[in-house]
Amino acid sequence: MAPVGYLSIDTEGNIIQINTTALQWLGLSYEDVIEKKKLFDLVRIDKEKFRR
């Protein structure tokens, strides 16, 4: 297992890749996340600042 969690998003914020470590930290499965969740569903950030 990787020592760090990571994920990749598309231009709309959809999660398109995530590793096992991140899934375990979040308590989610791959099927729960890929193309079903957005970055904003998992973390709290200012959406307007993110889009800049």
The residue ranges of every structural domain in the chain are 7-51
| Residue 29 confidence (pLDDT) | 95
Q: How far apart are CA 29 and CA 43, in angstroms?
A: 17
User: Which stretches of 1-52 are DSSP H helices?
Assistant: 20-26, 30-33, 39-42, 47-51
Query: What pLDDT sits at residue 39?
Result: 86
| pLDDT tens for each residue of the chain, 52 residues long | 789 999 999 998 899 999 999 999 999 999 999 989 998 888 776 666 656 5
Q: How many residues does the chain have?
A: 52
